[in-house]
Homo-oligomer: A and B are copies of this chain.
């Protein structure tokens, strides 16, 4: 069952991409699992993501052991730091083989998992004996086949606090509007679940549910009616919502990880709402809140800690038993190993499903804010 000899095992851990609550918990669990269960004594942390493998950056790695990691679950972020963007796969494998590392754990998003796949290919091509295990990270909880991603539970808790603030602000002024932009590039799971957990949201806007801004059934008119009836309104918008409203804009760019830079729907809605009511001579009080870094950089809560602990342990087991080119995750309540490629597609909120129907009920927003053609 144990494929590697613990005495000859050298493990490396790397964290890539944006922060998410629980990264340190996963690092801790891998180190604790390798050390206490298998007796592995040689574990290093690669600093600043894949940059840490590339000599030109001059990053030094750090030795990881139980003493160093024992309290890191109390800290947000990643003790290894992170970076974005691809690096030369050949140089990464050079680093691993040059330092006789035979076990690599990659914690990161879908770009990282694609790179991890290519690293595995290059290892196989060179006929090296190195296990590569991915621990997929996406605070948005939109991995296919995987029940939940770590950090999601904490994100909901934090978003709920922000919604409470937005609600307090909205009720605190005449025709008060609290507009909150949160995570959710391609899916609205955080927005939908936070809406149901808090129940003070009146509009939940997600990427899966296209809406019009103008027109009789469009968002602005519906908002106006709500505001006139109830005196205040809370709007929760996922960052990936309403991107079709920017169609025709040719200035779109990509970031270092190759992700398309989204148009800022939060700022856009803010200015469209203010402009709309100004034209109608209606004094509103709009408070815009964009809390994203505050949400993703907190320590994991107990639920996520528990989950990260198990993910890390399973990752350690998977590697020690010689598996490679896999991710670990929870599938129908069982911990499983899946091929790295599962992380390349996204699970969406089903806008005909139960969860979204309950969001519609909870918010009172119309099923559609699209105008008839």
Residues of A within 8 A of B (CB): 19, 28, 32, 36-37, 48, 51, 57, 71, 73-78, 81-84, 153, 156-157, 160-162, 164-166, 168-169, 171-174, 176, 178, 193-194, 196-199, 285, 287, 289-291, 293-294, 297-298, 301-303, 305-306, 309-310, 313, 333, 358, 361-362, 364
A-B contact pairs, 10 of them (CB 8 A): A37-B361, A77-B169, A77-B171, A77-B172, A81-B174, A153-B302, A197-B306, A197-B309, A287-B293, A309-B362
Residue of B nearest to A85 (CB): B283
Would A76 and B164 count as touching, CB distance under 8 A? yes
Would B289 and A294 count as touching, CB distance under 8 A? yes
Question: Complex Cα distance A198/B74, Å?
Answer: 10
Would B162 and A294 count as touching, CB distance under 8 A? yes
Q: How many copies does the complex hold?
A: 4
Would A160 and B19 count as touching, CB distance under 8 A? no
Question: Across the interface, which residues of B come within 8 angstroms of A290, CB to CB?
Answer: 290
Would B297 and A293 count as touching, CB distance under 8 A? no
Would A19 and B77 count as touching, CB distance under 8 A? no
Question: Across the interface, which residues of B come within 8 angstroms of A160, CB to CB?
Answer: 302, 305
A75 contact from B36, B71, B174, B301, Cβ within 8 A: B71
In the complex, what's the smallest C-beta–C-beta distance from A201 to chain B, in angstroms? 12
- Name the residue in A297, A302, A313 with the highest tally of chain B Cβ atoms < 10 Å from its Cβ: A302
* Shortest beta-carbon contacts, A-B, top 4: A77-B168, A197-B306, A168-B297, A157-B302
Question: Complex Cα distance A366/B315, Å?
Answer: 24
Question: Across the interface, which residues of B come within 8 angstroms of A196, CB to CB?
Answer: 306, 309-310
Question: Across the interface, which residues of B come within 8 angstroms of A306, CB to CB?
Answer: 156, 193, 196-197
Question: Across the interface, which residues of B come within 8 angstroms of A309, CB to CB?
Answer: 196-197, 199, 362
Residue of B nearest to A288 (CB): B293
Residue of B nearest to A59 (CB): B174
Would B157 and A199 count as touching, CB distance under 8 A? no
Residue of B nearest to A287 (CB): B293
In the complex, what's the smallest C-beta–C-beta distance from A162 to chain B, in angstroms? 6
A19 contact from B76, B172, B297, B313, Cβ within 8 A: B172
Would A305 and B198 count as touching, CB distance under 8 A? yes
Residue of B nearest to A283 (CB): B256
Would A157 and B193 count as touching, CB distance under 8 A? no
Question: Across the interface, which residues of B come within 8 angstroms of A297, CB to CB?
Answer: 164-166, 168-169, 172
Q: A153-B302, A197-B306 are in contact. List 13 more A-B contacts (CB 8 A).
A: A19-B168, A36-B361, A48-B173, A73-B199, A76-B164, A76-B165, A77-B168, A81-B174, A153-B303, A166-B297, A169-B293, A289-B294, A294-B294
Would B76 and A197 count as touching, CB distance under 8 A? no
Q: Contacts A289-B293, A294-B291, A310-B358 known; A302 to B197 CB distance under 8 Å?
A: yes
Q: Contacts A165-B297, A302-B157 known; A81 to B198 CB distance under 8 Å?
A: no
A173 contact from B83, B172, B193, B291, Cβ within 8 A: B83
Would B77 and A74 count as touching, CB distance under 8 A? no
In the complex, what's the smallest C-beta–C-beta distance from A120 to chain B, in angstroms? 25
Question: Across the interface, which residues of B come within 8 angstroms of A197, CB to CB?
Answer: 302-303, 305-306, 309
Question: Complex Cα distance A309/B194, Å?
Answer: 12
Question: Across the interface, which residues of B come within 8 angstroms of A168, CB to CB?
Answer: 19, 75-77, 297
